[in-house]
A = this chain, B = another copy of it.
Amino acid sequence: MVLAIDRRIGKYAILLAMNGDQEEFPVVTPSQWKSCMGKVGSMDSQKVVAAIETAAKREGIIKSDGYRETHALYHAIMDALSGVTRGQVQLGSVMRTVGLRFSVVRGNPYEELEEGDWIAVALYGTIGAPVRGSEHETIGLGINHI
């Protein structure tokens, strides 16, 4: 189980989330991998979770039915949110809001075939007071086996 140099799933996810509309970083994930991107801005952490989950299911990154893949994705999202919130996974209840781009990437980042699929959720954007401009950048990455 060695992470392959050119299959860094977390790095791909981060670049996709940071790419913005200009696509300044050319990201070519390995063939057979799946990925999607999206945007969400909210003071409500529930809406962030829902936006990512909805996109991942709509784009076919994970199965819409069944619990297994939803469970894998959920915990990857929670891990990514930990990085964004750094301490308490709370937004509006502590008077802050986020404006995020997200990506979800699915594939096997290891040399060994039997490691199977993993999922990476990356979040990049801003966090701050609910006042335009009163914000700084924030990032989060969650990785899970799926």
Residues in chain A within 8 A of chain B (CB atoms): 1-3, 8-11, 14, 18, 25, 44-46, 49-50, 53, 65-68, 70-72, 74-75, 78-79, 81-84, 86-90, 92-96, 109-110, 112, 114-116, 118, 120, 122, 124, 126, 128-129, 131-145
Contacts and interface: CB of A to CB of B under 8 A. Distances in A.
Contacts of A1: 65-68, 133-134
A67 B141 contact: no
Given A67-B135, A90-B93, A145-B145, 13 more contacts: A10-B136, A10-B138, A14-B139, A46-B92, A68-B114, A71-B134, A71-B144, A74-B95, A81-B94, A82-B82, A83-B141, A90-B90, A122-B139
B145 A138 contact: no
A63 to B, nearest CB: 9
Contact of A86 (B83, B128, B132): B83
Contacts of A145: 68, 71-72, 145
Q: Is the interface of A mostly helix, strand, loop or mixed?
A: mixed
A126 to B, nearest CB: 7
A94 B45 contact: yes
User: Lowest 8 A-B CB distances belong to which pairs?
Assistant: A83-B83, A10-B137, A1-B67, A82-B86, A49-B95, A1-B133, A139-B141, A136-B143
A93 B138 CA distance: 20
17 contacts: A1-B133, A2-B133, A3-B126, A3-B135, A10-B137, A44-B93, A46-B92, A46-B94, A49-B94, A53-B95, A66-B115, A67-B110, A67-B133, A68-B116, A68-B145, A71-B145, A81-B94
